[in-house]
Chain A
Amino acid sequence: MGTFSVIFQQFINGLTIGGVYAMVAVGLTLVFGILRQMNWAHGELYMLAGYALVITYTMMNVPYYVAVILTVLMVAFVGLLYEWLVFRPVRGKPFVNAIVCSLGVSIFVWNIVLALFGGTPYKLATPLTGKIMRLGLFSISGQRLMTLVVGVMIIGAVYYWIQKTRAGRAMRAVEQDGEAARLMGVNINRIAEVTFAIGGGLAGLAGALVGPIFVIEPRVGAWAVGKAFAVVVMGGMGSVMGSIFAGFTLGVIESLAIGFLATQYRDLIAYLMIIVILWIRPQGLFGRIAQKGA
Chain B
Amino acid sequence: MLRKKLLPAWLILVLLVAVGVGVAGCTPAAEAPPEEEEEEAPEAPEAAGEVLMGLIGPLSGSIAYYGQLMREGARLAVQEINQAGGVNIGGKPYSIKLIVEDDRALPADSVSAAEKLIHDNGVHMLVGSFTSTATLANLEVSKRANIVQITPVAVADAVCPASPWMFRNVPNQTMQTSFNANWVRDNLDIKKAGIIASDDDYGRGGADIWAKIMTEDGVEVLKPEFFQIGDTEFSSQLTKLRAQGVDTIFLVALITEGSQIVTQAQEIGMDVQFIGLGGFASDRFLELAGEAAEGMVHVSYWEPDPNNPASMHYRDAFVEFSGLEAEMFGAAAYDAVYILKTAMETVGEPPSQDLAYQEKLREAMLDIEFTGAQGPMHFNEDGQAQIGLYLVRVEGGKRVILGRWDP
- Say yes or no: B239 contacts A226, CB within 8 Å: no
- Say yes or no: A258 contacts B62, CB within 8 Å: no
Instruction: Report the count of interface residues on A (CB-CB < 8 A).
Output: 58
Nearest A residue to B27, CB-CB: A219
Q: Quote the shortest CB–CB distance from B259 to chain A (angstroms).
A: 7
Does B233 reach chain A (CB closer than 8 Å)?
A: yes
Instruction: Tell me which residues across on chain B come within 8 A of A125, comparing CB atoms.
Output: 290
Instruction: Report the count of interface residues on B (CB-CB < 8 A).
Output: 58
Does A87 reach chain B (CB closer than 8 Å)?
A: no
Instruction: Tell me which residues across on chain A come within 8 A of B188, comparing CB atoms.
Output: none
Nearest A residue to B32, CB-CB: A111
Bits for A47-74, please: 1 = Cβ < 8 Å to B, else 0.
0000000000000000000000000000
Comparing A10-18, A77-85, A158-166, the segment that makes contact with chain B is A10-18
Please report the C-alpha to C-alpha distance between residue A241 and residue B263 in the assembled complex, in whole angstroms: 34
Does A126 reach chain B (CB closer than 8 Å)?
A: no
Please report the C-alpha to C-alpha distance between residue A225 and residue B255 in the assembled complex, in whole angstroms: 23
- Say yes or no: B1 contacts A294, CB within 8 Å: yes
Q: Quote the shortest CB–CB distance from A273 to chain B (angstroms).
A: 16
Instruction: Tell me which residues across on chain B come within 8 A of A1, comparing CB atoms.
Output: 242-243
CB-contacts of B47-85 with A (<8 A)? 60-65
Q: Quote the shortest CB–CB distance from B282 to chain A (angstroms).
A: 10
Nearest B residue to A255, CB-CB: B236
Q: Quote the shortest CB–CB distance from B90 to chain A (angstroms).
A: 44
- Say yes or no: B225 contacts A259, CB within 8 Å: no
Does A272 reach chain B (CB closer than 8 Å)?
A: no
Please report the C-alpha to C-alpha distance between residue A256 and residue B237 in the assembled complex, in whole angstroms: 10
Please report the C-alpha to C-alpha distance between residue A107 and residue B196 in the assembled complex, in whole angstroms: 31
Instruction: Tell me which residues across on chain A come within 8 A of B290, comparing CB atoms.
Output: 123, 125
Knowing A40-B20, A222-B24, the reply to whether A263 touches B225 (Cβ < 8 A) is yes
- Say yes or no: A107 contacts B239, CB within 8 Å: no
Please report the C-alpha to C-alpha distance between residue A44 and residue B269 in the assembled complex, in whole angstroms: 32
Bits for A90-123, please: 1 = Cβ < 8 Å to B, else 0.
0000111001000100010011001100111101
- Say yes or no: B21 contacts A226, CB within 8 Å: yes
Please report the C-alpha to C-alpha distance between residue A28 and residue B296 in the assembled complex, in whole angstroms: 41
- Say yes or no: B31 contacts A264, CB within 8 Å: no
Is chain A's interface secondary structure helix, strand, loop, or mixed overall?
A: helix
Instruction: Tell me which residues across on chain B come within 8 A of A258, comparing CB atoms.
Output: 225, 236-237, 240
- Say yes or no: A220 contacts B225, CB within 8 Å: no
CB-contacts of A221-244 with B (<8 A)? 222-223, 225-226, 229
Nearest B residue to A141, CB-CB: B267
Instruction: Tell me which residues across on chain B come within 8 A of A111, comparing CB atoms.
Output: 30-32
Instruction: Tell me which residues across on chain A come within 8 A of B12, comparing CB atoms.
Output: 95-96, 99
Comparing B3-11, B156-164, B335-343, the segment that makes contact with chain A is B3-11
Does B108 reach chain A (CB closer than 8 Å)?
A: no
- Say yes or no: A119 contacts B60, CB within 8 Å: yes
Instruction: Tell me which residues across on chain A come within 8 A of B212, comparing CB atoms.
Output: none
- Say yes or no: A10 contacts B236, CB within 8 Å: yes
CB-contacts of A1-54 with B (<8 A)? 1, 6, 9-10, 13-14, 16-17, 36, 38, 40
Please report the C-alpha to C-alpha distance between residue A130 and residue B290 in the assembled complex, in whole angstroms: 11
Partner of B230, one of A223, A229, A254, A267: A223
Does A290 reach chain B (CB closer than 8 Å)?
A: yes
A-B pairs with beta carbons under 8 Å apart, 29 shown = A6-B240, A13-B235, A13-B236, A17-B233, A40-B16, A103-B16, A119-B62, A120-B65, A123-B263, A123-B287, A125-B290, A130-B267, A139-B268, A141-B267, A144-B267, A214-B233, A217-B62, A218-B62, A219-B230, A222-B230, A262-B226, A263-B237, A264-B199, A264-B225, A267-B228, A290-B2, A291-B2, A292-B1, A294-B1
A interface residue numbers (CB < 8 A to B): 1, 6, 9-10, 13-14, 16-17, 36, 38, 40, 94-96, 99, 103, 107, 110-111, 114-115, 118-121, 123, 125, 130, 132, 139, 141, 144, 213-215, 217-220, 222-223, 225-226, 229, 254-256, 258-260, 262-264, 267, 290-292, 294
Contacts A107-B30, A229-B17, A294-B3 known; 10 new A-B pairs at CB < 8 A: A13-B233, A118-B65, A119-B63, A121-B259, A213-B267, A215-B232, A215-B256, A258-B225, A260-B240, A262-B223
